[in-house]
Amino acid sequence: MTSNLFKSILLLLSSILTIIGIVLSITFGYADTNLLTTWEAFFHFNASNEHLIILEHRLPRALIATFVGASLAIAGALLQTMTKNPLASPGILGINAGAGLFVVLAMSIFQMTNLFSFTLVAFLGAAISALSILAISSVGHGGMTPINLTLAGTALGALFYSLTQGLLAINEAQLDQVLFWLAGSVQGRDLHMLWIVLPFLLVGWLITAIKMKQLNLLSLGEDVARGLGLNILRTKFLIILVVVLLAGGSVSIAGPISFIGLITPHIARKIIGTEHQWTIPFAAILGAILLLFADIGARYILMPQEVPVGAMTAFIGTPIFVYIARKGFNKG
Amino acid sequence: MKKLLNLQSRFYSQLIDLSALKQLGILIVVVAITFIISLSIGDSFISPLKVISILSGNGSEFDTLIVQEFRMPRIIVALFAGMGLAVSGAILQGIIRNPLASPDVIGISAGAGGAVVAFLAIFSDTNYSLTVSMEWMPVAAFVGALVTALLVYGLSWTNGVTATRLVMIGVGIAAFMQATSTVLMLAGPIYQASKANIWITGSVNSATWEQVKIIIPVIACLFFLSLLVTRHLNLQQFGDDVATSLGQGVQKTRLALLLLCTALVGSAVAFSGTIGFVGLMAPHIARRLVGSSFGSLIPVSACIGGILVVLADTIGRSMFGSIEVPAGVFTAAIGAPYFIYLLIKMQKR
């Protein structure tokens, strides 16, 4: 067992790395700037091009990457605990697929085109999709078993995804705008969008922080947890609510970014152990770090063109993940 | 009590559930009907009765041309690709013992996709026309699938391969391959990206009789091979410990099954592109119809996979006028509602 002191140090160090990531993300990119420019942009602002890029473009981007990365990681950790399936991620509640479908519908039927309206529509889509999956999987007395939930989620997710593809195939003209959104990116968003979504994310974080104990109980298995007095149904509903807030909020601002929710909980469990009061904060920090650095990398690979951040996440995340998988996972 | 039929010989033993056999019979009839109806639907409608007379060799010359040269090859490729994907999904879910496993999840399809995108990127000259024949693309896809599967297997090997490690590393490699495809597509010209994208979505649009001549024997052989190994698959369901104590060489069997599965996916996607959903959901639909013994699960999955892809292709080429939508778009649109219906119906029982 690793001691609590060691775990605290780990959390502290990784938080520092997150801050370094934020600073780097604000400082480096296509426009030639350095740490000094960044410092001046914040404290001696002179409305030069560089300063505007830093404050209007890169700062929102860094903050969004941090919040979205952390939220996706927490959502993934919660779902893996709840479904007892190491492959679970926010994707299995159909959140990305639902958001994608609604955005494409909004574009092709209501002619919406700006990113701001995408935010609201995407959140709506994520919530509706998660609720329908909940409803389908809990019809009848078999109830909302992990397997029913997983399968209903996967099937409905696939349905939404295929409808999205169908709509796109018919409306090729509008493809460009929405493809940019569908690839998942933290670029080109302004801070107002973050302020809209942030309350949802923070509420999700707060509920997770309060309910750590229940999560530890749930990971012992449903029978044991019930025997120890946990209200399983209520806990599950709460988890799904939190996942909708976190993953729905994330997809609505950054588009579908899938890999982080899946892998960071595994990495966190391997390094810091399986108690949720440690795993979840650590996973959140790792998620933020991964998305921050992936976003920085995405600017450099095909410069001046940007690579979708989801692709970059896979390039950075996969080697770490494979290494950890070879060492053997800790069960959640 | 279920009625069971016992088949036994030195190399093969199988208990066959008679009610599952009935389901299979019904499904085979459905496959035949789907086949004939999709032959009759298209730009010009040819009635199913006419189609049957064309198939038996006496139709008008023009109709025969449409049915035999334009529609038949793609429908046969769709049918067999669907069968291959569904069977490989069933086997993979058996090896990995996780209901979310499918050839898409552990990277086999993504590997084939990456290989095709790389093929288009490498063999294009400065005018963006291909320097080698298009016929090599299926080969690239097959090789991509095989190499990726071996890579996943190799990386998962530390003194044996466990099911969890295989699937987790597969997921990682799948993401990596997709990311590679995305970057290659972004770096190349737009039209090349859209060509690659159609392939990745999955389409049987370019099927020819030459392809039919390859896909039928290959998938058929692999399918019968799959039927022969069902008892090993059934055994793996009990977990490594039980399987070992009952005398199975768990690691060897797992590798053999994975290779079988890869061969199925590779030969299916070589001609149809990476059609999604079928490998994941056809086995689940089958499981809800005939239960989870692999002897009946595999043939029933195959029928369902075939029906799904043929229907998806028929809708894709006929519903939207002049626009042809790739078959891969509709497999989920048809399959998912049916699966959700089964899910709800089973729970009410």
pLDDT digits (tens, 9 = 90+) for B187-221: 777 777 777 777 888 888 888 888 888 899 999 99
* Residue B2 belongs to a domain: no
The predicted model gives A228-251 an average pLDDT of 87
Q: Which residue of B has its CA nearest to A312?
A: B179
- Reported in sequence order, the residue ranges of A72-140 that DSSP labels E, i.e. its strands, are none
Q: Are B75 and B37 in contact (CB under 8 A)?
A: no
Q: Which residue of B has its CA nearest to A169?
A: B325
Q: What mean pLDDT, rounded, does chain B reach?
A: 84
- Cβ of B168 and A326 within 8 Å? no
Which one of B101, B176, B280 has the shortest CB-CB distance to A314? B176
Please give the pLDDT value at position B200.
81
Q: Calculate the CA B45 to chain-centre distance.
A: 28
Alpha-carbon torsion B132, B134, B135, B136, what sign?
positive
* Chain A partners within 8 Å of B169 (Cβ): 321-322, 325-326
Please give the pLDDT value at position A54.
80
Q: Are A120 and A252 in contact (CB under 8 A)?
A: yes
Measure in Å the smallest separation between the Cα of A163 and chain B Cα atoms. Answer: 7
* Residue B6 belongs to a domain: no
* Residue B268 belongs to a domain: yes
* Chain B partners within 8 Å of A154 (Cβ): 100, 280-281
* Nearest partner of A96 among A280, A254, A208, judged by Cα: A254
Report how far residue B91's alpha carbon sits from residue B260's, in angstroms, rounded to the nearest whole number: 9
Please give the pLDDT value at position A332.
47
Longest Cα pair distance anywhere in chain A, in angstroms? 66
Q: Which residue of A has its CA nearest to B164?
A: A86
The predicted model gives A203-209 an average pLDDT of 92
Which one of A86, A141, A310 has the shortest CB-CB distance to B168? A86
* Buried/exposed code over A292-303 (b: 16+ C-beta within 10 A; e: otherwise): bbbbbbbbeeee
Which one of B99, B179, B326 has the shortest CB-CB distance to A315? B179
- Tell me how many degrees the CA angle A73-A79-A83 measures, rounded to the nearest 5: 150
* Residue B311 belongs to a domain: yes
Measure in Å the smallest separation between the Cα of A80 and chain B Cα atoms. Answer: 13
Report how far residue A146's alpha carbon sits from residue A79's, in angstroms, rounded to the nearest whole number: 10
Q: How many residues are present in chain A?
A: 332
- Cβ of A86 and B164 within 8 Å? yes
Please give the pLDDT value at position A17.
93
Q: Are B52 and B73 in contact (CB under 8 A)?
A: no
- Cβ of B186 and A154 within 8 Å? no
How is residue A275 written in tokens?
A: 């108690």
Confidence (pTM): 0.84
Neighbours of A192 (CB within 10 A): 10
* Chain B partners within 8 Å of A141 (Cβ): 347-348
The DSSP annotation for B206-237 comes to: T--HHHHHHHHHHHHHHHHHHHHTHHHHHHHT
Interface A-B: count of C-beta contacts within 8 A: 150
CB-based contacts of A53, cutoff 8 Å, min separation 6: A29, A31, A33
Backbone torsions φ then ψ of B7, nearest 5 degrees:
-110, 125
Cα pseudo-dihedral B30, B35, B39, B40, rounded to 10: -10
Measure in Å the smallest separation between the Cα of B10 and chain A Cα atoms. Answer: 37
Encode pLDDT of A76-85 as tens digits: 999 888 888 7
Report how far residue B99's alpha carbon sits from residue B283's, in angstroms, rounded to the nearest whole number: 9
Q: Are B75 and B313 in contact (CB under 8 A)?
A: yes
Question: For chain B, what is the domain count?
Answer: 1
The predicted model gives A180-195 an average pLDDT of 78
Backbone torsions φ then ψ of B123, nearest 5 degrees:
-95, 30
What is the DSSP-derived secondary structure letter of residue B43?
S
Please give the pLDDT value at position B1.
46
Measure in Å the smallest separation between the Cα of B230 and chain A Cα atoms. Answer: 24
Encode pLDDT of B145-188 as tens digits: 999 999 999 998 887 788 888 888 888 898 899 888 888 887 77
- Reported in sequence order, the residue ranges of chain A that DSSP labels E, i.e. its strands, are none
Please give the pLDDT value at position A290.
94
Residue type, B304: I
Neighbours of B346 (CB within 10 A): 14
* Nearest partner of B257 among B175, B161, B177, B174, judged by Cα: B161
Which CATH number covers residue B34? Answer: 1.10.3470.10
CB-based contacts of A51, cutoff 8 Å, min separation 6: A37, A40, A41, A45
* Residue B69 belongs to a domain: yes
Encode pLDDT of A298-316 as tens digits: 888 877 778 888 888 888 9
pLDDT tier at A68, thresholds 50, 70, 90: very high
Q: Are A177 and A107 in contact (CB under 8 A)?
A: yes
Which one of B101, B187, B344 has the shortest CB-CB distance to A140? B344
Measure in Å the smallest separation between the Cα of B181 and chain A Cα atoms. Answer: 9
Measure in Å the smallest separation between the Cα of B305 and chain A Cα atoms. Answer: 15
Pairing assessment for the beta strands B4-8 and B13-17 based on DSSP bridges = antiparallel
Give the domain range for residue B111: 13-348
Which one of A139, A322, A325 has the shortest CB-CB distance to B347? A139
Q: Which of A68-82, A166-180, A207-221 has the lowest mean pLDDT?
A: A166-180
CB-based contacts of B250, cutoff 8 Å, min separation 6: B160, B236, B240, B243, B244
How is residue B11 written in tokens?
A: 């190399």
Which one of A154, A161, A326 has the shortest CB-CB distance to B158? A326
Which one of B168, B339, B343 has the shortest CB-CB distance to A329? B168
Q: Are B86 and B94 in contact (CB under 8 A)?
A: no
Report how far residue B40's alpha carbon sits from residue B47's, in angstroms, rounded to the nearest whole number: 6
Q: Which residue of A has its CA nearest to B331?
A: A162
* Chain A partners within 8 Å of B276 (Cβ): 158, 162
Please give the pLDDT value at position B211.
87
Q: Are A86 and A157 in contact (CB under 8 A)?
A: no
* Chain B partners within 8 Å of A87 (Cβ): 98, 100-101, 105, 167-168, 171
* Chain A partners within 8 Å of B179 (Cβ): 310-315
Q: Tokens 């060897």, residue?
A: B252
Q: What mean pLDDT, rounded, does chain A reach?
A: 84
* Chain A partners within 8 Å of B330 (Cβ): 162, 166
Helix axes A4-27, A259-272, angle to 10 degrees: 140
Domains of chain A as residue ranges with CATH: 4-11+57-327 (1.10.3470.10)
Per-residue pLDDT of chain B (349 residues; tens, 9 = 90+): 466 777 776 666 666 777 888 889 999 999 999 999 999 888 788 888 888 888 887 778 888 888 888 889 999 999 999 999 999 999 998 888 877 788 888 889 889 988 988 888 888 766 666 677 777 888 888 999 999 999 999 998 887 788 888 888 888 898 899 888 888 887 777 777 777 777 888 888 888 888 888 899 999 999 999 988 888 888 888 888 888 887 777 888 888 999 999 999 999 988 888 888 899 889 989 988 888 888 889 999 999 999 999 999 999 888 877 778 888 888 888 888 888 888 777 655 4
A114: left (phi over 0), alpha (psi -120 to 50) or beta: beta
* Nearest partner of A161 among B104, B283, B344, B176, judged by Cα: B104
